[in-house]
Structure 1
């Protein structure tokens, strides 16, 4: 399942993502990953969560490289149960136009690897009208 948290910049999505990740880490019998742009605000995450800052991976600069990075994580750790991706539009030059394709590929990975994705997007639902909502859940 791909879970989407949408809304304008500054609407509290990051804090919601952190709370959801901390809850998932407590309730999950597997590993939880939290991917964000920078090292800011990672102190609020539970110690059990693997925080990944994309600033450390400058070579990942497009949607295909980003998806390859995710496949690499899932192939190296079969115990991952949830991957949180905060502020996706700040990662790897991903734009709003890339989101429908990106989410379709996340749905595929979710099914193949039996894990859930949580993605925050600084956009309203009306801006995501091209997204196929089947296999997605809006959390707000």
Structure 2
């Protein structure tokens, strides 16, 4: 499943994502990853969560490369149970126009690899009209 956390910039989505990730790692037997744009605000993540800062991977510049990165993670670690992606519109040239394609591909990875995704989007839910919400859950 792909869980979406939506809302305008500055509405507290990052803190909610961190709280959700910290709770997830307490309640699962596998691994939890937290992907964000920069190294800021990672100090409040549990030490049991693998934090990945995309600023360290500047060569990832589009959806296909980003999804390839996620597939690489899943092929290297079959124990991933949850992946949190904070502020997706700041990553790899992903925007409101191409986010429907990105969400569809995440749903496929989720189904194939049995991974729960949590994605924060700096937009109101109403702005995601082209996103097929079947297989998604809007958390707010």
Into which bin does the TM-score normalised by the smaller protein fall? over 0.9
Q: SS state of the match for residue 47, structure 2? A: coil
- Equivalent residue for 2:56? 56
Counterparts of residues 58-97 of structure 1 (less than 5 Å): 58-97=58-97
Task: Report the counterpart of residue 15 of structure 1 in structure 2.
Answer: 15
Shift, 1:39, TM fit: 0.1
- Alignment partner, residue 136 of structure 1: 136
Which residue is equivalent to 2:108? 108
Consecutive unaligned residues in structure 1, runs of 5 or more: none
Could you list the per-position Cα deviations for residues 83-109 of structure 1 after superposition, in whole angstroms to 9, with x for gaps in the alignment? 000000000111111110000000000
Give the total of aligned pairs. Answer: 140
CA distance in 2, matches of 1:77, 1:120: 23
Give the alignment's TM-score, normalised by structure 1.
Answer: 0.99
Q: Within 1, Cα distance between the matches of 2:72 and 2:120?
A: 21
How far 1:124 moved relative to its partner? Answer: 0.5
Deviation at 1:122, TM superposition (A): 0.2
Displacement, 1:132? 0.5
Moved over 4 A (4+): none
TM-score under structure 2 normalisation?
0.99
Structure 2: give runs of 5+ residues left out of the alignment.
Answer: none
